[in-house]
Amino acid sequence: MKERIILHCDLNNFFASVSLLFNPTLKGFPVAVCGDKENRHGIVLAKNELAKSFGVKTAEAIFEAKAKCPELITLPPIYEKYEEYSRKAHEIYERYTDMIEPFGIDECWLDVTGSTVLFGNGETIANKIRADIKKELGITASVGVSFNKVFAKLGSDMKKPDGTTVISLENFKNIVWKLPISDLLFVGKKTCEKLKMCGIHTIGDVTQCDEATLKRLLGKNGILLKKYALGEDDSPVITPTENDKPKSIGKSVTSAKDFTDNDSVWKEFLKFSQYICDILHKKGLYAGGVQVHIRTSSLAVKEFSLTFQDSTNSTLTFARRGFELFCKNYSFGEPLRSVGLRAINLKDTQTAVQQDMFGESDEISNLEKIENSIYKVRQKFGKESIKRGTTV
């Protein structure tokens, strides 16, 4: 089988780079894109290279960033521009291949195995893409080139900004195995701590560890981790389509003011449920369960889930079930900073509804007919055309 050629393209400091295109007088200054302090999203979302040189980090509080860099200039996010430039980058990728898998708004994997006859080898294609992005979009990208997705992602992190790194079958042991284990894809903080406690500090160390130990530490993911370190990742680049079915649909909010009672949570759940059920209708799906996410004022995170006997795409039914789950598991021992609702165990219309002859199937059926009518009106006249009174 022909060796694959996979690229991982990472748009450098994406939010900050795009924001500076619309604030050109700030070039040469340390700049960070930050969330809204008034809505308690006062953290660094992205920073430019100059701010990075002062030690400013993504996800730290603004006051912490300014303690490191008093001259730091903060800008609000402009999400519509980030989406626009992400689309433009995708259009550039599409010149070289139709096998593109997004990994967030600013990263993508590309399978260019079949493109080399037209455009040259993987490194050549990577350099052409970087040049196109710099010339046409005014921002830079780093690209990793390898024979699998994990190493391509690793390569794109190695030369920033604006660099290409090739990790091949011949050189990957020399390049990859000396890197810290935290650099490997999907190795988070907790996983890293567990591995280090067992003397596993580098990616190469994982390859020397027996599978029984890794499985005891991390379950089946431990064995997968060793497979990645050995260069045996064979996962394909999967291009999403409009017909793809989501595995879950959710929405959450961090409020400017803590949630202190059930009424305020119920109103948010109704809003979340409307958003979620609109997508369920659009995709032809039903929710087979609900998951509730909360974060307390002391930042403790809790999640609860429930599987339904009968699936639903009714806004009111779904909101009620989520709220009942919330009330069963939380009684406001302390205020809540954020709440979230998620539809899980999604099913299609052919397998979704199992009638409960001793339950409330008639009421649910009637609600769903009403919801279908509401959905059609909102589709035709806009999302603001019909609202529930309690959410206004």
Annotated catalytic residues are 107
Cβ atoms of residues 286 and 312 within 8 Å:
yes
The structure tokens 């626009």 sit at 84
Q: Are strands 141-146 and 164-167 parallel, antiparallel or unpaired?
A: parallel
Q: How far is CA 212 from the centre of its chain?
A: 31
Cα-trace Rg, the chain: 24
Whole-number Å distance between alpha carbons of 284 and 126: 39
Beta strands in the chain (DSSP E): 6-11, 31-34, 44-47, 73-75, 100-102, 107-111, 141-146, 164-167, 249-259, 285-296, 301-312, 336-344, 347-348
* Residue from 264, 388, 249, 263 nearest 338 by CA: 264
Distance of CA 284 to the CA centre of its chain: 23
CB contact at 8 A, 234 and 3 = no
347: which strand partners? 286
Residues 32/12, Cβ–Cβ less than 8 Å:
no
- The answer to whether 5 and 99 have CB atoms below 8 angstroms apart is no
Token pair 């037209």 is found at 118
How would you write 61-93 as a 3-class SS string?
EHHHHHHHCCCCEEECCCHHHHHHHHHHHHHHH
The residue assigned the tokens 């806004």 is 315
